[in-house]
A and B are shown apart, each in its own frame.
Chain A
């Protein structure tokens, strides 16, 4: 038994291939038999993955979900930013440049609207929760945009580390809600073509949330949503610690 574990640990990335294949196989089976094809197999797999991540965090106390268990550490490599971005770029092969051009302006606008909207919601919730200083409120608003903008803003403004942790948590919640929520509401909000996918990516901005949410809705939409989402964090890091912090400090 320990010899087998040893093999799984030494070949962590290969083990991850097997684990993901099993999760997808099981989820596709559930989708077909239990949900009669009404729910996407990849949407179920996503929920299975997130549940496993919760269990991993519960047992190890680490911050990388199931990947903190040595045997499953390959999931951290396979599911890390490097492979994620590599696969996202690959989805662009076969995407239509014309569709991107046509919806380019509304996609860019949606990035701005998305950053500002998420920021102010996070900032308002922070104020309701009793935060009164501009630095903390701005940092929590920044984290609500994405969990990268949060710490970048927090450290630039000199926020307390507990506030930065809170801002990261808000961003995490956002990205998980996008992952699970997108396939559920896609029809009702008209998320079904290149243009709406670009608006979606721009408004949500969380790379992992957008990547997973679109994968579970319609993989054909992935390149369009990913395209705008990839500008979100940069725009956030640009305007949150400067312009939006200035606005918040005027009010508070």
Chain B
């Protein structure tokens, strides 16, 4: 049944977010640390590997792949609810800081990728 897939996905997310909150609590910070990432790992492990593996029938998988396909529409809705007005009218300090941070981070991508190439070769 499709709901099994949706339920599995939802269960993974809740466990992951809970774990992320616990990690935050452990470090004494008021933030979720990697909850969504942990949820993704749980889903990948449960659907692929080892003794935990559950066999997912195609119809069950549809409950997950539907939400996978809804990703872009959700992102568009997310764009439409951003506080763009505040961002644009916030003055040059915020715009400079945000813009420069992104520009330099973009430049760091090839540098870090090359760095990992070199390190992997040595191993």
Which residues from chain A sit less than 8 Å from chain B, CB to CB? Answer: 16-17, 19-21, 23-24, 42, 45-46, 48-54, 56-58, 63-67, 72, 75-76, 78-80, 83-95, 97, 100, 103, 105-106, 109-110, 113-114, 117-118, 121-122, 125-126, 129, 140, 143-145, 148, 152, 166, 168-179, 181, 185, 189-191, 195-196, 199-200, 203-204, 207-208, 211-212, 215, 219, 222-223, 226-228, 230-231, 233-238
For residue B86, CB closer than 8 A to chain A, the reply is yes
Main secondary structure of the interface of A (DSSP, over half): helix
The residue of chain A having its C-beta at the shortest distance from the C-beta of B27 within the complex is A238
Cross-chain contact A117 with B116 (CB below 8 angstroms): no
Question: Contacts A196-B109, A212-B78 hold; do A237 and B29 have CB atoms under 8 A apart?
Answer: yes
Complex-state Cα separation, A227 to B42, whole angstroms: 12
- Known A65-B83, A97-B48; judge A20-B73 contact (CB<8 A): yes
**Do residues A212 and B106 form an inter-chain contact, with CB atoms below 8 A?**
no
Contacts A16-B77, A79-B79 given; does A65 touch B106 at CB 8 Å: no
**A121 and B83 form a contact (CB under 8 A):** no
List the interface of chain B (C-beta within 8 A of A): 9-10, 12-13, 16-17, 20, 23-24, 27, 29-37, 39-41, 43-45, 47-49, 61, 64-65, 67-68, 70-88, 90-91, 93-102, 104-110, 112-113, 115-116, 119
Beta-carbon contact of A173 and B79 below 8 Å? no
Write the chain B residue with the least CB distance to A242.
B29
Contacts A172-B86, A230-B34 supplied; 7 other A-B pairs, CB < 8 Å: A50-B84, A65-B85, A93-B64, A110-B108, A140-B93, A173-B97, A174-B102
Asked whether B99 lies within 8 Å of A177 as measured between CB atoms, the reply is yes
Residue among B61, B79, B102, B112 making CB contact with A177, cutoff 8 Å: B102
Are B99 and A234 in contact (CB-based, < 8 A)? no
Cβ-closest 7 pairs across A and B: A57-B85, A173-B98, A234-B33, A49-B79, A79-B77, A169-B90, A79-B78
Closest to A21 in B: B73
Which residues on the B side are within 8 Å of A166 (C-beta)? 90-91, 93-94
Q: What's the nearest-Cβ distance from chain B to residue A11, in Å?
A: 15
Task: Determine whether the beta carbon of B113 is less than 8 Å from that of A185.
Answer: no
- Measured CA separation A110–B34 after assembly (Å): 15
- Taken together as a complex, chains A and B put the C-alpha atoms of A76 and B39 apart, in Å, by 23
Contact A75 B107 (CB under 8 A): no
Cα(A216)–Cα(B9), bound, Å: 24
Is the pair A85, B97 in contact by a Cβ cutoff of 8 Å? no
Contacts of B76 in A (CB 8 A): 20, 23-24, 42, 45-46, 48-49, 79
Cross-chain pairs A/B with CB under 8 angstroms, 26 sampled: A46-B79, A57-B83, A84-B74, A85-B35, A88-B71, A89-B36, A97-B45, A100-B41, A103-B116, A106-B119, A114-B105, A117-B104, A122-B97, A129-B93, A170-B93, A172-B94, A173-B87, A173-B97, A176-B98, A190-B113, A196-B109, A208-B78, A219-B71, A219-B72, A230-B20, A231-B37
